[in-house]
């Protein structure tokens, strides 16, 4: 059972949770989609106009109903990635990069999807890299990002401002963050002074102290946690049959909730189903039995709908898990 307590800080009451991830154990599994400009626009070169056009046409209500119909307890959506096009406004990003017109969409798709999901009892998480969009030269320069084992302190300070603004914008609509690309944790994030893991986690929780946070270093077997600042394991896995959840104690690995993330297609956001329904349900059930949760990535169409073969498999898995 989650134990809540209050701490007075700077004249305000701050709500903290001893275990923010208890809801994940109950939810058991969720769905991820990579809604990125290069996937959503397909063969169309990305531009402010083309990006806003597809984001405006995204059927948030339809997607939310599809997710709810599968029985998934949560949905993880990408805010953006390497292209530099993002699916929600962010004044801090615009101010820092100076990019005009903005590469952040006019529509706040995160807020719209989160609202639609909440009406159906489904939580929402968001995905964001820990590095600058490396296919946007102007953003890379303005954000002062250097890819590689560098402290990147100037970049981190700016990136935390951007994360904080989104977190405050969405508030309790968002239940957590999955940060990608933390490939050099010792160099960038283990400093005793900010910026570090703690300050980035604080930025992510600025709008919701109960948000869960994790940092992904890449595909690593076995699943592990990198820092005490993580609430759950990133758990990126290509081969789910290699996951042995018996390392977990009471659903946790070194204090972080056991969580596995893998893809049902041939790659992230692409292809056709590569596993049988029985395999997917079995791997999910195995992690659930250890007190953990599983997130399955599937492709998504430009209009926001899940392709039929994947929707069918997700529903089959949900039914199989509900019957046990």
- 257: CATH: 3.20.20.80
Residue 4: inside a domain: no
Is it the case that residue 144 has pLDDT exceeding 80?
yes
Stretch among 6-15, 273-282, 311-320 having the lowest mean pLDDT: 6-15
Quote the CA–CA distance of 282 and 317 in Å, as a whole number: 9
Is it the case that residue 9 has pLDDT exceeding 50?
no
Residue 262: inside a domain: yes
Please tell me whether residue 16 adopts helix, strand or coil conformation: strand
Is it the case that residue 20 has pLDDT exceeding 60?
yes
pLDDT at site 248:
67
Quote the CA–CA distance of 306 and 323 in Å, as a whole number: 24
Quote the CA–CA distance of 318 and 306 in Å, as a whole number: 15
Helices (H), the chain: 22-27, 37-40, 48-57, 60-70, 91-97, 109-118, 137-143, 153-170, 185-188, 197-204, 277-289, 308-322
Residue 301: inside a domain: yes
Residues 63/76, Cβ–Cβ less than 8 Å = no
Residues 256/231, Cβ–Cβ less than 8 Å = yes
Residue 10: inside a domain: no
How many other CB atoms sit within 10 Å of the CB of residue 48? 16
Confidence of residue 2 (pLDDT cuts 50, 70, 90): very low
Residue 112: inside a domain: yes
This model's pTM is above 0.85: yes
What mean pLDDT value characterizes the chain?
93
For the chain, the domain total comes to 1
pLDDT (tens digit, 9 = 90+) per residue, 119-143? 999 999 999 999 999 999 999 999 9
Residue 246: inside a domain: yes
Q: How far, CA to CA in Å, does 170 sit from each of 165, 174, 242, 299?
A: 9, 6, 36, 25
Average pLDDT of the segment spanning 28-33: 98
Please tell me whether residue 55 adopts helix, strand or coil conformation: helix
pLDDT (tens digit, 9 = 90+) per residue, 44-88? 889 999 999 999 999 999 999 999 999 999 999 999 999 999 999
Residue 77: inside a domain: yes
Residue 148: inside a domain: yes
What range defines the domain where residue 281 resides? Answer: 27-322
pLDDT (tens digit, 9 = 90+) per residue, 186-207? 999 999 999 999 999 999 999 9
Is it the case that residue 288 has pLDDT exceeding 90?
yes
pLDDT at site 1:
30
């Amino acid at each position: 059972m989650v134990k809540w307590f209050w701490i007075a800080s700077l004249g305000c009451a701050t709500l903290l949770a001893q275990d923010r991830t208890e809801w994940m154990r109950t939810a058991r599994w969720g769905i991820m989609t990579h809604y990125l400009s290069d996937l959503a626009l397909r063969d169309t070169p990305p531009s402010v106009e083309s990006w806003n056009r597809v984001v405006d046409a995204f059927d948030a209500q339809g997607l939310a109903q599809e997710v709810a119909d599968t029985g998934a307890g949560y949905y993880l959506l990408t805010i953006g990635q390497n292209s530099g096009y993002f699916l929600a406004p962010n004044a801090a990003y615009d101010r820092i990069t100076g990019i005009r017109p903005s590469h952040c969409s006019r529509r706040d798709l995160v807020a719209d999807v989160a609202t639609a999901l909440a009406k159906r009892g489904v939580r929402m998480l968001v995905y964001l890299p820990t590095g600058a969009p490396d296919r946007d030269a102007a953003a890379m320069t303005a954000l002062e990002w250097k890819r590689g084992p560098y402290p990147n302190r100037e970049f981190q300070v700016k990136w935390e401002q951007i994360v904080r603004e989104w977190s405050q914008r969405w508030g309790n609509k968002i239940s957590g963050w999955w940060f990608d690309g933390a490939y050099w944790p010792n160099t960038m994030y283990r400093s005793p002074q900010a910026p570090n893991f703690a300050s980035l986690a604080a930025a992510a929780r600025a709008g919701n102290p109960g948000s869960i946070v994790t940092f992904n270093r890449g595909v690593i077997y076995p699943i592990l946690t990198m820092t005490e600042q993580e609430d759950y394991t990133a758990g990126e896995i290509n081969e789910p049959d290699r996951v042995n959840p018996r390392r977990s104690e009471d659903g946790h690995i070194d204090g972080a909730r056991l969580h596995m993330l893998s893809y049902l297609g041939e790659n992230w956001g692409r292809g056709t189903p590569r596993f049988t329904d029985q395999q997917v349900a079995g791997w999910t059930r195995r992690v659930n039995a250890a007190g953990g949760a599983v997130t399955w990535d599937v492709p998504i169409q430009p209009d926001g709908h899940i392709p039929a073969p994947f929707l069918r498999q997700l529903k089959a898995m949900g039914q199989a898990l509900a019957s046990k």
